[in-house]
Every structure is written in structure tokens, then in C-alpha cells.
Amino acid sequence: MSQGLYRDIILEHSRNPRNAGRLEQPTHTGRASNPVCGDELEVTLLLADGRVQAIRVAVRGCVISQAASSLMTLAAEGASPPQLEELAAEFRAALDGKADALSPPLAALAPLLELRQHKSRIGCALLPWVALGRALG
């Protein structure tokens, strides 16, 4: 995939985020902010039968945090809390350069691996995962 296509995917998810907003009756809520760039977000989710039944993210932030939030919700749907912890750790390791590829549940987040070239933006991509961890924590 070309870098242009990656940018297109990131822009698409920031302009048309999936699962944007807040759930009316979440079972779990987590917030995170990035003081470096001012991004703020809130994850609300509904856990039932040990799995994510619904997830929403309300974002006030940059293109990267908006796209990362949208993509994270797609990976989280239907996952159990232990699976989510594994996915978060895998994504963080990939952004840190400790893995070259992502497993199938995270494949849609591959465009964000371009951020390895822009270390100051990695926090923007990890922010939804931080909020999700706080929601589950």
C-alpha cells in the first residue's frame, strides 16, 4: 500500500468516524487526554456476556486521534476484556517498532504504523487505547 492510500484511510476515518459519540447507558466509561496536543476523548462501552456489545468514542482532537479512535472501535467490537488488553499491547509494540505487522483483528490499524516515522504523534494513536484501558480498569 502506498503512503497516499494510508493517508486516505486515515482521512476517511477522521472525516467519517465509525462508532462516534456516547452510549446512553454504558456499563463502562474511560477518558484520556494528551497534554502535548490537547486531544481529549471518552470511550463508552457496553459489556455483556463477557464481550463488547457496543462501543462509542467522543473525540475532540486531531485527525490522528479521530482516525485511531474510529479504527480502535472496529477492532474492539465483540472482543473480551483480556483480548482487548492483548490487542492494545500488540498495537503499542507495533508503534514502538517491536513488530512489523499486526494480527488480523488489528489489520485495519496498519496505516497508523506510518507514525513510527513521527514519534511525537504516537501518543495521538494510542489515546483511544488508553481510554479503553481506563474504562476496563
Residue 36: CB partners within 8 Å, gap ≥ 6? 120, 123
Separation CA 7–CA 48 (nearest Å): 35
- In the chain the domains, ranked by start, together with CATH numbers, are 3-136 (3.90.1010.10)
* pLDDT per residue as tens digits for the range 55-113: 999 999 999 999 999 999 999 999 999 999 999 999 999 999 998 789 999 999 999 99
Please report the pLDDT score of residue 8 as a whole number: 84
* pLDDT per residue as tens digits for the range 118-129: 888 899 999 999
Separation CA 113–CA 117 (nearest Å): 8
Radius of gyration of the chain (CA): 14
